[in-house]
């Protein structure tokens, strides 16, 4: 394994793909860099780095070759989760279940295509069991988007 490029208090800082950093400036390998048109608005371009490609790409890649998903459960409603939901809609998922402990996020989830919204704190059973009960088979494409 290659030696991590960064350390803090004498211990290595592990990161993903050799590029993760909280530094204002850093040196990167060429493969980790994408040229951005100077006229592109950075407040829009930054969204392409992870949220969209991770969310939509993960769902579409997972279902590659399938005619459609039976269902998709998405928890942790941040940027990646919204894109997971859009990927599930593009994959023609029959049922898309949004899972979060903050019900204020559910209108956005519904506007993007969620068919159901679940707050695990409001349930008398584990959320996994609830999904199985709702779908009779469980989610064919589960996602914890908050960990992505």
Contact 51, 82 (CB under 8 A): yes
DSSP 2: P
Q: pLDDT tens digits for 10-19? A: 887 766 655 6
Q: pLDDT tens digits for 57-88? A: 777 777 654 455 556 677 777 777 788 888 88
**What are the tokens at 128?**
């996994």
SS3 content of the chain, % helix, strand, coil (to 5): 40, 15, 45
């Amino acid at each position: 394994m290659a030696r991590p490029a960064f350390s803090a208090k004498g211990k290595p800082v592990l990161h993903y793909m050799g590029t993760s950093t909280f530094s204002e400036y850093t040196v990167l390998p060429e493969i980790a860099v994408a040229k951005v048109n100077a006229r592109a608005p950075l407040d829009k371009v930054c969204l392409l780095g992870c949220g969209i490609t991770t969310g939509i790409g993960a769902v579409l890649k997972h279902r590659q070759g399938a005619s459609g998903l039976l269902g998709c459960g998405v928890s942790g409603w941040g940027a990646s989760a919204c894109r997971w939901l859009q990927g599930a809609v593009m994959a023609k998922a029959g049922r898309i279940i949004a899972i979060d402990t903050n019900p204020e996020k559910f209108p956005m989830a519904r506007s993007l295509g969620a068919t159901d919204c679940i707050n695990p704190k409001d349930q008398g059973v584990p959320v996994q069991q609830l999904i199985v009960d709702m779908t009779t088979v469980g989610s064919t494409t589960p996602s914890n988007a908050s960990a992505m």
